[in-house]
Amino acid sequence: MSGSIGSRPVPMMWIMERAASRPAPARTPRWSGAGHSRDRDPELAGRNAALEAVGGRPDAALLLVFAPCGADLHAVLAGVGSVAGDAPVAGMAGGGQLAAEGAFEDAVVVVALGGDDLQVSLSVGVEETPRDAGAVAAAAVGDLDTPHRALLLLADDSVDDHVEVARGAYSVAGAGIPIAGGLSGPAGAVLCGRGVHRSAALGIALGSKDPIGIGFGHGLEAVGEPMLATRVSGARLLELDGRPAIEVLAERLGRKLAPGAENAQPLGLHRHDDRWQVRCAMADERTERDGSLRCLVPEGAPLWVMEGSRETALAATDAACGHALAALSGAKPRALLLFDCVARSAALGEDGLAREVACATRWADGAAVAGVLTVGEFARTVGPAGLHHSTIVAVAIA
């Protein structure tokens, strides 16, 4: 049996779970709510966060969940599901959670969206290939028939090639559908219904009569001369300027790159439109063996070291939120979602993350605010390029 995406057949085994909601017949105002819980019982944390987000309103169209990577995610979803009723539940586990009250490493955060004229469709694609997983995730947009549509694209970090996930999603969604989202933290997952999916991509298609805005930024600048990616294999940067990548980068930085996503070094790709697209180079257990780095860049590309400060990172947050709200054409936001790179959070520090959340809360002007720390970000408003690192992505929903 097969289905189709555009003109291309898609084996149905790739489609793991689909769910959709339509506007309720009753005419009710659009609304949003956010809640968070740090209860040590994961099911209770999910339930309490969902109760706070829903606030007793009966017509939720989506409960969006951000949870810690180390939590019992099935229990979290059971708690959220006990509140959601028939409303779709979706989300991801990341390296940290953001709410109007601050930044956390151990909280369950839930955003509830509901009321008239909001359509939601979910589609999960397993990793047959990363491109196919992204394409199946993006199939959710075909279920909507509203004037404004957007795709929240969430993927598990263990999917091999995140660039191909973005390309697969773009191949289905097309140029007219903005895409935003991110990658789960290490040992994370994407969440749909009661399912915890690894090596998968999740599409959350949002449809509305009102605009949905996306903004993104990184606050980084290129320094020094470029290095040439002379040998690349998949997601591994093997050589820079003909030598082991870790050696060349250590010379440029004046220090050896420590392992872990929080220590990743931003590198810049200079795009044809004179903008910088950021990729992070990360050391891991393989680095000590062969001098390679985990980094998604094309072979032969010139790469620049990218640097910034806490203040430029906060300025990027301000700009991302401003651009997202500007796309609403004057409409008041009902929710502001943030997908923020964990590498940025390391540079910002605890105080900087709190300032970042405060900045987003000011832009939200009373609307629900929630977010998750990711290890890569999806943001596509113009052109097919969609994967970013060390970037904050803001999604404003009117």
Which amino acid, one-letter code, is at 148?
Answer: H
Report DSSP state, residue 264: P
Least confident of 55-64, 263-272, 379-388: 379-388
Per-residue model confidence (pLDDT) at position 127 = 65
Residues 36/74, Cβ–Cβ less than 8 Å: no
The pLDDT value given to residue 169: 95
What's the pLDDT at 94? Answer: 95
Instruction: Please state the rounded mean pLDDT for residues 86-111.
Output: 96
Unique residue bearing structure tokens 């803001």: 394
Higher pLDDT, 6 or 229: 229
204, 252, 341, 351, 392 from 388: Cα distances, Å: 19, 22, 9, 24, 9
Residue 141 DSSP label: G
Confidence of residue 59 (pLDDT cuts 50, 70, 90): confident
Average pLDDT of the chain is 90
Query: What stretches of the chain show up as alpha helix (H) in DSSP?
Result: 42-54, 73-84, 130-138, 162-173, 245-253, 287-290, 310-326, 342-364
Position 11 scores a pLDDT of 36
Q: Is the pLDDT of residue 382 over 90?
A: no
Residue 249's pLDDT band (cuts 50, 70, 90): very high
User: What's the pLDDT score for residue 268?
Assistant: 95
Q: What pLDDT score does 316 carry?
A: 96
- pLDDT band of 116, cuts 50, 70, 90: confident
Q: Which of 198-207, 263-272, 326-335 has the lowest mean pLDDT?
A: 263-272
Q: Which two tokens stand for residue 154?
A: 């969430």
pLDDT digits (tens, 9 = 90+) for 319-371: 999 999 999 999 999 999 999 999 888 788 878 999 999 999 999 999 999 99
pLDDT of residue 358: 96
Q: Which residue has the tokens 């502001």?
A: 336
Amino acid (1-letter code) at residue 321: C
What is the average per-residue pLDDT within 310-327? 96
Q: Which two tokens stand for residue 33?
A: 């709510």
CB count in 10 Å sphere of residue 171? 17
The answer on pLDDT for 12 being more than 50 is no
| Overall average pLDDT of the 190-207 stretch | 96
Q: Provide the CB-side half-sphere exposure for 211 (13 A, CA).
A: 15
- Neighbour count for residue 27 (Cβ, 10 Å): 9
Q: Give pLDDT, residue 101.
A: 94
Domain definitions of the chain by residue range: 2-216+314-397, 221-307
Average pLDDT of the residues in 265-287: 90
Of 368, 305, 319, the closest CA to residue 114 belongs to: 368
Q: In this predicted structure, what is the pLDDT of residue 385?
A: 66
Residues 67-77 have pLDDT tens digits of 999 999 999 99
Give the model's pLDDT for residue 10.
38
* Structural tokens at position 279: 């990729």
pLDDT at 219: 94
Structure tokens at 99: 């709410």
User: Which pLDDT band, with edges at 50, 70 and 90, does 20 fall under?
Assistant: low
pLDDT given for residue 22 in this prediction: 53
- 371-382 burial string, b = 16+ CB within 10 Å, else e? bbbbbbbbbbbe
Structure token pair of residue 204: 């959350």
Sign of CA dihedral 128, 130, 135, 140: positive
Q: Is the pLDDT of residue 16 over 60?
A: no
Three-state DSSP at 177 gives coil
User: 174: which strand partners?
Assistant: none
Range with the lowest mean pLDDT among 14-18, 59-63, 178-182? 14-18
The pLDDT score that the predictor gives to residue 30 is 86
pLDDT at 208: 93
Q: Where does the pLDDT of residue 291 fall: very low under 50, low under 70, confident under 90, or very high at 90 and above?
A: very high
Find out whether 375 and 157 touch, Cβ atoms under 8 Å: yes
* pLDDT at residue 19 is higher than 90: no
Burial 91-114 (b: 16+ CB within 10 A, else e): bbbbbbbbbbeebbeebbbbbbbb
User: pLDDT band at residue 386, thresholds of 50, 70 and 90?
Assistant: confident
pLDDT at 18: 56
Specify the pLDDT at position 254.
94
